[in-house]
Amino acid sequence: MMEKALLPGLTLPELENYVKALGEPGYRARQISEWLKKGAGFEDMRNLPGSLLDVLRGSAIAQPASILSRQRSRIDGTEKYLFSLQGDHTVEGVLMRYRHGLTLCLSTQVGCRMGCAFCASTLGGKLRDLRAGEMVGMATLINRLCQPERVHNIVLMGSGEPLDNYDEVLRFLNLITSPDGLNIGARRISLSTCGLPEEMRRLAREGLPVTLSVSLHAPNDTVRRFLMPIAHRVSMAQLLSACRDYAQVTRRRVVFEYALIHGVNAAVDQARELARHLAGMLCHVNLIPLNDVPERDLRAATPQEVAGFRQALENAGISATVRREMGADISGACGQLRAQYLKNPVGPMWKETSP
């Protein structure tokens, strides 16, 4: 059986070729594209002839994602989504509300194989990569739900390692920044990686000035190996060299994500050690109070430890901020909602939690 075409993953010229192959005029592609941009399914495409819609339903997919669960925080309005995809797979997304607009955090894989000790996304390993059209579908679906607001920023920091799914993520970035798509500026997109130097250097030369967010979480190789299996094959020296290259080529600062964990990586001396590694680099450190994950025996740093760590970095001339916790009352950490669903695949479509 022939696989159906995933229309949100096609560029406009590719879509034109597709409809022409069906014997339709090329202008139908623009009509379909406008609907896809709105996150619509075939049932919404009322300006297309019924005969074409019948063919499309049998040969193509307009919206590959559906919302299985939607939770909304009553503390800050953050929304957590559990998407259902083909193959009975589920992935998460988070919509965060800031003064500068709506930010959507998306997954790039079903699960993750990187094995970071503080992350729930990796507990079941990686099942498969997401396709570009699936990521576009999730983005357009949420953008449709936001109306009359719209998604202004994209963060690839959900389940999965984006650079481990390089080709599909790159296609997604080109589609989502296109005027024919949601037209989100590349500078409004952040891509989070645990640190794959070859792919980081490749991304730097793609001409897409996205913000690179590197999950560092340690001041040295010893601590990083304890927290992140990737550190057994990529040293901090190798990783930071690739970060310097990225900043130099793109002229964009690298953001280092650093989850503060009591008794592991949150001491003032460790902040000073980290500062020595980052000296002279165009960068910023985003300090993250750890989200407790029941399956991991790691505790968040105390507020005093967080403040002391930040102060030590700033005293050494390193830009640093503490990330505001979002969605704490709705399983906000990556992978938590999916993990709960896999344990008990029955639940409400909508849940608004009390503070």
pTM across the whole model: 0.89
Please identify, in words, the CATH class of the domain defined by 94-344.
alpha beta
What's the CA gap between 108 and 128, in Å, rounded? 9
Give residue 111's region: left, alpha or beta (phi > 0; psi -120 to 50). left
pLDDT band at 336 (very low <50, low <70, confident <90, very high): low
Provide the mean pLDDT of the chain.
90
> For the residues 103-118, what does the mean pLDDT come to?
84
Q: Answer yes or no: same fold for 7-61 and 94-344.
A: no
Cβ atoms of 277 and 219 closer than 8 Å: yes
Spans of all domains in the chain: 7-61, 94-344
- Region 162-170 average pLDDT: 97
pLDDT at 111: 86
Q: Within 10 Å of residue 233's Cβ, how many Cβ atoms?
A: 9
Write down the CATH number for the domain with range 7-61.
1.10.150.530
Give the residue numbers marked as catalytic: 92, 334
C-alpha 157 chain-centroid distance: 3
Residue-wise pLDDT for 14-54, tens only, equals 999 999 999 999 999 999 999 999 999 999 999 999 999 99
Give the strands of the sheet with 189-193, arranged side by side. 320-322, 283-289, 254-260, 211-215, 189-193, 151-156, 101-106, 89-98, 79-85, 66-73, 350-353
Q: Where residue 346 falls among pLDDT bands split at 50, 70, 90?
A: very low
pLDDT of the residue at 214: 97
Q: How confident is the model over 62-84, as a mean pLDDT? A: 93
- Chain segment 195-254, per-residue pLDDT in tens: 999 999 999 999 999 999 999 999 999 999 999 999 999 999 999 999 999 999 999 999
pLDDT tens, position by position, 173-201 = 999 999 999 999 999 999 999 999 999 99
Task: Tell me which of 43-57, 136-150, 283-297, 335-349 is least confident.
Answer: 335-349
Percentage of residues of the chain with pLDDT beyond 90? 77
Q: Give, in order, the Cα–Cα distances in Å from 67 to each of 137, 138, 210.
A: 11, 9, 27
